[in-house]
Amino acid sequence: MNAFSTPSSAAPSPATDTVPQARFDLIPLLLIAALALGALPLIGSASSWATLTIAGLAMGLIVFVIASGLTLVFGLMDVLNFGHGVFIALGAFVATTVMGAMGGFVASPSLAANLGAVAVAALAGIVSAAALGLVFERVLVRPVYGMHLKQILITMGGMIIGEELIKLVWGPQMIPLQPPESLRGALIVGDVAVEKFRLLAVVVGLLVFAGLLWLLNRTKLGLLIRAGVQDREMVESLGYRIRRLFVAVFVAGSGLAGLGGVLWGLYQQSVIPQIGAQVNTLIFIVIIIGGLGSTLGCFAGALLVGLMANYCGFLAPKAALFSNIALMVAVLLWRPQGLYPVSHR
């Protein structure tokens, strides 16, 4: 027998060749269910609890759509973009213009026409925010890659300038943004009232979440992006242009913020130039709770924030403003790196 051969009896079994898989952590998702069930005895009425829970999930999924863009940019590019709010505001204001121009479709009793108007407005918001994101990355972000303090300062300055430009175009006043005719009001199921637009928000939020997970984990593009984060030089040596991929990530994150701005404007039924700055604090709470750069963590954190805001708004309105900060503190005391920390951070 050759000295370097391995006896058949010593051959490793398939079990020893198998790479151990990390166990999926269900605890953060169970925390969402625990929060919802824990609120039931405090609220008392099952119908009120169900209405608040659905409203909280809808709000959380809208916040997830907004925050997912920021999570994507930070998680894959390590860029702290405090100017994310300007993309939210631009998407919302573009939607007001588009829906105003489609008045016949918005006022139509046809659900198909109404959904078409919302889809066109959302697409316009995504494209406009993505285009601004391309300019934002090239002019402001590119010179400060790897310098977090400068990123914070320059992107905040970019948001302030963006808000002033929005005021020049649309004015400083509040502009109403009503949902189309067939998406107004609520569906009554037994004693539970469910707003129609919130059901649409739930569907859109779940589609965005599923799409991001599929893109990042099941496609070659996602593999290249994640590989570029881990070892940029190696991926570039294989002939891939990582800079272009990262620019595409920034543009995609900006587009998601624009979509979130459209949904948030319709949710609030009005828009103001400061709408992005107002939501900025909320989305940073979400990504800190979830774990910086984690898409799944962002999803779980957004649902927790949405439920907490609705339950506290009903039970203790004066404490509602501080409820999400208290939630963030509690989560960080339990898990300092967030619910689903990213391993390479």
pLDDT tens per residue across span 168-195: 999 999 999 989 988 888 888 878 888 8
Q: How far apart are CA 336 and CA 210, in angstroms?
A: 27
Please tell me what DSSP assigns to residue 20. P
Q: How far apart are CA 108 and CA 183, in angstroms?
A: 11
Residue type, 51: T
Sole residue written with tokens 């502009």: 175
How far CA 118 is from CA of 58, 79, 93, 180, 253, in Å, comes to 17, 31, 13, 8, 20
Report the pLDDT value the prediction gives residue 62, as an integer from 0 to 100.
94
Report the pLDDT value the prediction gives residue 22, as an integer from 0 to 100.
63
Report the pLDDT value the prediction gives residue 93, as an integer from 0 to 100.
96
Report the pLDDT value the prediction gives residue 31, as an integer from 0 to 100.
92
CB 209 within 8 A of CB 296: no
Report helix, strand or coil for 51: helix
Residue type, 37: L
Sign of the four-CA dihedral 301, 307, 310, 315: negative
**Tokens, residue 282:** 């909320």
Q: Please list the ranges in the chain whose pLDDT falls under 50.
A: 1-17, 19, 344-345
Report the pLDDT value the prediction gives residue 114, as an integer from 0 to 100.
92
Q: Using one digit for the tens of pLDDT, what is the confidence trace for 186-227?
A: 888 878 888 889 999 999 999 999 999 998 888 888 788 777
Give this prediction's pTM.
0.88
CB 68 within 8 A of CB 287: no
Give percent of the chain above pLDDT 90.
53
